[in-house]
Structure 1
């Protein structure tokens, strides 16, 4: 199931990239589309649906076809303001040019050094050619930095200056130089996680709440509490070992959910349940649920039930709730399972009137886990189930102040607009674990960036994948991670790491060699030397070994 979800995501990205390439073209997308895109667009047309890319592409087509409409829109908006301009894709870029017109009154804010969303179709070249597109534009450089210390900014500046596709600027710190950046080489990923836990304990004078206020150190810590600390990584998979290690050291953590969380089969089913509880008349979502949660109920039977509801002029849920379903091809045990599932939805909807959202999510989750008929979940490990529940509860926490019936629509609305990293709760007194992508726009007094090994960060994709590596984007991503730190920055790398199902020995990241010596202090785990000595020690021969 996990592999299938990954493949679907790859197809979605391929379709989005191809659509955006055709934005602004004289011919419609379908004219020279790939077979994949043609089949996808045909499926959307049959269902009367548009995806997010279509909303922009269809608008562009209308503006190109009807100049009077374009003129009307231009006269309607006297000013256009765009934030995060470096993150726009080609379709958005074409739409901006159409709306701006020949006499634009346009303000665009952005930073080419923070363009890190190429996988979503964002193109930094749009930002770099802004002056060519709008030659009369005045450039205002915002170079004063109020976040990071002088040392962190000096190191980050040297990292990003290695890129060629950028607009030159020099960040000027308003804070003093501050502490050196610490680079720690660890024996393996477990020792890396243990180091992070020990250092957090040292910074806070202990890892229990009652000891935080009793530090015995002459040096004032940049962290006053757990919420002042973030641990950043390149891949969400790295969070599992970090979280378990920190929790075993009595350190409270919150894992900012990756967008990939919402592709996990158990989370998809749970969110679909929330959709149906909120709106039982959503036949499309209910059909998805029935196909995965009711044993023996295949897609053809589900479609027949849906057609039957249409003939009755009612929703599928209403039909299944109010009258007996006489399906000749439906065995008795399937009908019993179907009735039980509909009753479960009805019970959860009743409970949502008084139960808070987190409690409702827990009850739904564990009930769905207990259903042996969910084929997508049969081979998934229990520990991953618990991780997914923890991550989802973190996401719903801001909506738990009221009954679930009121919190569900707020959460679903938030989910529809969600970008990675936006689900973390800054008010929670816990260490934050999140990807560097998710940390963009955030700041923390203390930041750890872990897993700085070549192949992981910078990330090197397998040759079989369609998307090529972009060394400059990886460097921009590292720059973004570094500049999340306000006062103290730790960079760690391990000689050995369990990654993609196997133990790998990766060299340290090439980024670390680019850091100026005056800004860093380097440390090596004593276990590395001890491990090397043990490997060199001659093996004692067995008493029965042939000589």
Structure 2
């Protein structure tokens, strides 16, 4: 957004640009709120210990997701009138109590605490209204209750609010987002003498007309009184390719071969008469992580570099980062962090003997004990043998070295130095691998200061999602594709149980919108595919094409050669439009 603003209007210094969470974090820091932000790994540790290891990892995650959803609705434990799960309510209460005792915020607390601050301090609220004379919100269809409440506090008759949104692109219901707020915008933000106004932007500046026709057909059954019938400004040769393959390996091979043709067209191939593409122009959008292995394997086999674009702050997605992120979080406070220390003891080789209850008991006996004290005296306090004492010493040395370089090294220099140090000290399974390091280096290049780098990881923010070396294509989940655009988009796995992932009537509308968003990421070419059989959960399963594909099938022209391609277990259905 900063880059685009700079291109459009020049100098943008002084303009506040960021997510709701980033805005709230800056506000709380400006007001000298000393609480520290925790990441998902620490939340998992906290839930695991509060439940006394009685919940599975899946149940812990479900409870944490439930807590986040309640907070997105601005509901704290004492406000849950309709919650029947008594165990959950007790854990939610204990979770909130522990965060307060440890002076910690989770992600959703940033909004809740900011709302509370502004509600309790009308003078500060008025100062912000005067400071931000013009407030702009993108993707307004995806805001949740807490974000809406914050906006109501920031907006007054004395400043302006401009939002952009499309109810047909509301895809973050799992985060509490709802298009309801977009529909009620005029009612919510009209003031005496200053009624809110709605402008319809009907020209599509991204996708070709054939893509718009098909994507709008997918969502045509949804009720939306403000639906915009879009018209593309683009004319010329455009196509949608639909292929049906025998299995996921054939599908992956076809995708890789098409990519090779797009980036290196043969003079004998009809593709050569079209635009030549770079790998940075191409994205593969997937709906399930189960699709990734065969695609990654084939891309590697054909020597096609790729980048998996996903938040790297969630250890469940990149397990090898768990130890390294715990080290980063431990370094944030001056004398260490207790939750990060628990994580270090459970992930550093051989130190899991120092358990949460033991450390809690030690803390109760010594109220002024710091995490650094605990780590320094671990061998004698926990009666560690020679081998474990040596491991504790290695951990202390690494932390001491890291802490010494925080003030002087850039984030990238810090990573290079200490990832190498970890390699010398630990088995490779405990150290981020090559692909993960590339992601870390890219993030560090966009945030030179260590504190900003760590906050970006904890906020699940990509400081510059457009950093994309020309030598690699993007692999993105459908939800992570929001806000992006590519000349060429592949959408494999257009099958029932993938697209849509379930038959839930409550989620049907959002699944349709997600498919719509995925298709409209393309600026030129769109490839849709599904397979007859796929290896899932250890068995070969028959697959059916997505109901959404079946609904738009008639909009796809079928050339005569389709039958020949079908006999080879691959066929292409191409719709071509000429000027």
**CA spacing shift, 1:21–1:15, aligned 2, 3 Å:** same
| Contact 1:222–1:487, Cα closer than 8 Å, also in 2 | no
Q: Decide which of 422, 429, 434 is 1:364's aligned counterpart.
A: 422
TM-fit CA distance, 1:199: 1.1
1:154 maps to: 213
**Partner Cα distance (1:217, 1:246) in 2:** 21
**CA spacing shift, 1:239–1:498, aligned 2, 3 Å:** same
1:195 and 2:248 are equivalent in the alignment: no
**CA spacing shift, 1:65–1:59, aligned 2, 3 Å:** same
**Partner Cα distance (2:291, 2:563) in 1:** 20
Tell me, what secondary structure is at the counterpart of 2:388?
helix
Q: CA RMSD in A?
A: 3.9
1:39 maps to: 94
Q: Decide which of 454, 460, 481 is 2:496's aligned counterpart.
A: 454
| Contact 1:447–1:484, Cα closer than 8 Å, also in 2 | yes
1:541 maps to: none
What are the within-5 Å matches in structure 2 for residues 484-499 of structure 1? 484-499=521-536
| Contact 2:111–2:150, Cα closer than 8 Å, also in 1 | yes
Q: Decide which of 145, 150, 160 is 1:105's aligned counterpart.
A: 160
Tell me, what secondary structure is at the counterpart of 2:171?
coil
**Partner Cα distance (2:558, 2:438) in 1:** 35
Tell me, what secondary structure is at the counterpart of 2:381?
coil
TM-fit CA distance, 1:83: 2.0
Q: Decide which of 156, 163, 180 is 2:239's aligned counterpart.
A: 180
1:534 maps to: none
**CA spacing shift, 1:36–1:167, aligned 2, 3 Å:** farther
Tell me, what secondary structure is at the counterpart of 1:498?
strand
| Contact 1:239–1:434, Cα closer than 8 Å, also in 2 | no
Q: Decide which of 303, 309, 331 is 1:256's aligned counterpart.
A: 309
**CA spacing shift, 1:179–1:410, aligned 2, 3 Å:** same
1:397 and 2:397 are equivalent in the alignment: no
| Contact 2:202–2:231, Cα closer than 8 Å, also in 1 | yes
**CA spacing shift, 1:151–1:335, aligned 2, 3 Å:** same
**Partner Cα distance (1:525, 1:369) in 2:** 54
**Partner Cα distance (1:129, 1:411) in 2:** 37
1:123 maps to: 178
Q: Decide which of 309, 331, 354 is 1:297's aligned counterpart.
A: 354
**Partner Cα distance (1:491, 1:16) in 2:** 34
**Partner Cα distance (2:315, 2:233) in 1:** 40
1:228 and 2:278 are equivalent in the alignment: no
Name stretches of at least 5 consecutive residues in structure 2 with no aligned partner.
Answer: 1-40, 45-54, 84-88, 570-579
| Contact 1:452–1:492, Cα closer than 8 Å, also in 2 | yes
**CA spacing shift, 1:303–1:197, aligned 2, 3 Å:** same
Q: Decide which of 205, 212, 231 is 2:264's aligned counterpart.
A: 205
Moved more, 50-59 or 139-148: 50-59
**CA spacing shift, 1:73–1:8, aligned 2, 3 Å:** same
Moved more, 238-247 or 480-489: 238-247
**Partner Cα distance (2:522, 2:541) in 1:** 29
Moved more, 66-75 or 249-258: 66-75
Q: Decide which of 507, 510, 516 is 1:473's aligned counterpart.
A: 510
| Contact 1:421–1:439, Cα closer than 8 Å, also in 2 | no
**CA spacing shift, 1:444–1:63, aligned 2, 3 Å:** closer
TM-fit CA distance, 1:88: 0.7
1:336 and 2:390 are equivalent in the alignment: yes
**Partner Cα distance (2:402, 2:132) in 1:** 46
1:508 and 2:525 are equivalent in the alignment: no
TM-fit CA distance, 1:103: 7.5
TM-fit CA distance, 1:393: 2.2
**CA spacing shift, 1:29–1:50, aligned 2, 3 Å:** farther
**Partner Cα distance (2:290, 2:434) in 1:** 14
**CA spacing shift, 1:510–1:11, aligned 2, 3 Å:** same
> Highest Rg: 1 or 2?
1
What TM-score do the two structures reach when normalised by structure 2? 0.74
| Contact 2:308–2:476, Cα closer than 8 Å, also in 1 | yes
Deviations 1:404-454 (A, max 9, x none): 9x6644432321333489657422411211111111111111110011001
What TM-score do the two structures reach when normalised by structure 1? 0.78
Moved more, 182-191 or 217-226: 217-226
TM-fit CA distance, 1:64: 5.1
**CA spacing shift, 1:12–1:167, aligned 2, 3 Å:** farther
1:327 maps to: 381
**Partner Cα distance (1:50, 1:274) in 2:** 17
**CA spacing shift, 1:220–1:414, aligned 2, 3 Å:** farther
**Partner Cα distance (1:63, 1:28) in 2:** 21
Q: Decide which of 101, 108, 116 is 1:53's aligned counterpart.
A: 108
